[in-house]
């Protein structure tokens, strides 16, 4: 069994993917790090492992000396909605320190997830060089979760590295499919259409989800979808707090076929509940939040996590001998 560490662990997206893949994969997370104490309580609730709230900017190499690394470093330095400072953003310091530790920690497998613009950042360039310097082979992917059965769009960049060469991928150009995945044919075309939004709705989640008045202020358009929609925008950690934090659900059949609307206090829309977001992001029904975690915190934590079905497929690819 290979021991793994999950860095920037959040609520445990990578740990959840590993749990669903089962012990036959031969990988077990034994250490996790995150500075968000609420996220850490959710992680411990589900996996029985308490993440360490240590800052990774100063972590010692021996703390990371495990053969498998899972990372989801902060995306804010690279998002189109932010200032896009990249490596100059202080939130990139932890990843930069981790990259410097690669020669001494020497992991055998590395799996990283971030937003698409990370691919062209200097942080990514430095990471790839450091991985190649310790004789790891690198493959890259740009994937959208809508190719994995969900209507929720979540475009993400994935970087994977291992000692064994990748034989089924061009290691210089990010792929938009995962070779040998059940979700794609031999030509890389998607085999799976997204399910409609209604497949993820929870019947008892109809009350208490009216957006705040500040969210529906004039002059801003929202992504408004219906139960029959096959696509909806990304849930972010700002969902329910910011205008562009994610989609709203139309509670009447009056807003087709247009997607973006300027909504007011009387518009027939509601937020998606945390249970519905969990379902669209591939979390199993068994995943739970501690009772003290508010609905707002649950939505924010999910918006900061990753799509579990994509994470499963990427992980399985990395540890497949024929990949």
Residues 199, 292: Cα–Cα separation, whole Å: 28
Residues with Cβ within 8 Å of 121's Cβ and at least 6 positions away in sequence, in order, are 77, 78, 86, 87
Residues with Cβ within 8 Å of 168's Cβ and at least 6 positions away in sequence, in order, are 179, 180, 322, 323
Catalytic: which of 75, 124, 232, 250?
A: 75
Q: Burial level of 83, CB count in 10 A (0-12/13-18/19+)?
A: exposed
Active-site residue, 232 included:
no
Q: What is the CA radius of gyration of the chain?
A: 20
The packing angle between helices 13-21 and 308-318, to 10°, is: 60
Which of 13, 21, 6, 11 is closest to 45 using CA atoms?
11
In this structure, are residues 6 and 19 in contact, taking their beta carbons and an 8 Å threshold?
Answer: no
CA distance readout (Å), 135 to 62, 233, 282: 20, 38, 34
Residues 84, 174: Cα–Cα separation, whole Å: 21
Q: In what order do the strands lie in the sheet with 155-162?
A: 27-33, 2-7, 68-71, 109-114, 155-162, 137-144
| N- to C-terminal Cα separation, the chain | 20
Buried/exposed 168-185: b ≥16 CB within 10 Å, e otherwise:
ebebeebbebbbebebbe
φ, ψ of residue 310 in degrees (nearest 5): -65, -45
Residues 32, 27: Cα–Cα separation, whole Å: 14
Catalytically active residues, by annotation: 75
């Amino acid at each position: 069994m290979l021991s793994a560490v999950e860095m920037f662990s959040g609520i445990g997206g990578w740990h959840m993917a590993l749990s669903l893949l089962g012990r036959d994969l031969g990988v077990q997370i034994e250490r996790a790090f995150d500075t968000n104490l609420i996220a850490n309580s959710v992680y411990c609730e589900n996996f029985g492992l308490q993440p360490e709230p240590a800052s990774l900017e100063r972590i010692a190499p021996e703390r990371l000396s495990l053969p498998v690394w899972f990372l989801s470093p902060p995306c804010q330095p690279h998002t189109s909605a932010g200032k896009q400072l990249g490596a100059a953003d202080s939130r990139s310091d932890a990843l930069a320190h981790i990259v410097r530790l690669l020669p001494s920690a020497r992991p055998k497998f590395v799996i990283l997830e971030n937003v698409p613009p990370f691919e062209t950042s200097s942080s990514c360039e430095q990471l790839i060089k450091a991985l190649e310097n310790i004789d790891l082979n690198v493959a890259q992917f740009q994937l959208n979760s809508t190719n994995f059965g969900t209507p929720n769009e979540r475009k993400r960049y994935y970087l994977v590295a291992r000692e064994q060469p990748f034989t089924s991928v061009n290691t210089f150009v990010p792929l938009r499919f995962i070779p040998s995945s059940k979700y794609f044919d031999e030509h890389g075309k998607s085999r799976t259409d997204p399910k409609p939004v209604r497949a993820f709705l929870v019947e008892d989640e109809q009350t208490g989800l009216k957006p705040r008045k500040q969210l529906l202020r004039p002059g801003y358009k929202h992504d408004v979808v219906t139960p029959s929609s096959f696509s909806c925008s990304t849930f972010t950690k700002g969902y329910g707090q910011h205008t562009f934090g994610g989609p709203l659900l139309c509670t009447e059949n009056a807003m087709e076929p247009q997607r973006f609307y300027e909504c007011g206090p009387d518009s027939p829309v509601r937020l998606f509940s945390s249970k519905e977001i969990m379902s669209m992001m591939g979390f199993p029904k068994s995943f739970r939040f501690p009772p003290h975690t508010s609905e707002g915190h649950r939505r924010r934590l999910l918006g900061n996590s990753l799509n579990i079905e994509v994470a499963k497929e990427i992980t399985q690819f990395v540890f497949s001998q024929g990949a």
